[in-house]
């Protein structure tokens, strides 16, 4: 929360007075599909990203009257070194969800969505080429953001308790082959 949420909040607090005075500005926050999709064993990260989503949406409604736009960029899995660092965990988890998250992240990273795609989206927003409030990035971003609302809360929560084959079959329906990474 200190870095992902409060860091964003402090940056906004620093620039907002100047933007209000100029009656112009654009705040672009990087969130994640995890800000809308709360996965088991990812609670701290999803909470911080959800907080940035909520802050951004609220701010967009507040700051618009001052000529200030707010946009969010919602990356899916981006091929960064954090994926390879998953294998360096010192203590194994007792929760099977960690293995699933790792398999999912590695399978999605194999699509090789590079950080430059996030940067290109930010640039397109800044240049006015993209005007939507929410801007998903990556092959898995939009399918995930559309898939979650199609499930009831109870079904989503229960998915964390499904057996490995059923879970992997569900991922395969979205075109993500996790079996090779399990």
DSSP character at residue 138: S
pTM of the model: 0.87
More reliable by pLDDT, 17 or 142:
17
Length of the chain: 182
Q: What angle do CA 74, 57, 97 make, to 5 degrees?
A: 45
CATH no. for residue 109? 3.40.50.720
- Express each pLDDT in 112-130 by its tens digit: 789 999 999 999 999 999 9
96 vs 46, higher pLDDT: 46
Report whether pLDDT(156) > 80: yes
Number of domains within the chain: 1
Does 17 score more than 90 pLDDT? yes
Q: Do 72 and 25 contact (CB within 8 A), yes or no?
A: no
Task: Residue 76: count other Cβ atoms within 10 Å of its Cβ.
Answer: 22
Active site residues: 45
Rounded CA-CA distance 15/26 in Å is 10
Q: Taking every pair of C-alpha atoms in the chain, what is the biggest distance, in angstroms?
A: 57
DSSP state of 66: G
Give the whole-number percent of the chain exceeding pLDDT 90. Answer: 51
Looking at the predicted structure, is the pLDDT value of residue 97 above 70?
yes
- State the residue range of the domain holding 71: 2-181
Q: How far apart are CA 144 and CA 59, in angstroms?
A: 25
Tell me the percentage of the chain whose pLDDT exceeds 70.
96
pLDDT at 85 over 80: no
């Amino acid at each position: 929360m200190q870095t992902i949420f409060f860091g964003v909040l402090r940056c906004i607090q620093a620039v907002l007075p100047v933007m209000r005075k100029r009656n112009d500005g654009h705040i672009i926050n990087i969130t994640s599909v995890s800000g809308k999709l709360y996965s088991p064993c990812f609670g701290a990260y999803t909470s911080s990203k959800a907080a940035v989503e909520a802050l951004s949406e609220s701010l967009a409604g507040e700051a618009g009257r001052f000529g200030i736009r707010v946009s969010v960029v919602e990356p899916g899995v981006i091929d960064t070194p954090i994926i390879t660092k998953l294998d360096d965990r010192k203590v194994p988890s007792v929760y099977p969800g960690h293995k699933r998250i790792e398999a999912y992240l590695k399978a999605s990273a194999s699509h090789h969505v590079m950080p430059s795609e996030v940067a290109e989206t930010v640039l397109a927003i800044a240049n006015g080429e993209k005007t939507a409030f929410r801007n998903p990035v990556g092959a898995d971003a939009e399918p995930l953001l559309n898939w979650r609302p199609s499930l009831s809360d109870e079904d989503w929560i229960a998915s964390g308790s499904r057996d490995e084959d059923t879970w992997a079959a569900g991922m395969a329906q979205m075109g993500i082959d996790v079996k090779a990474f399990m």
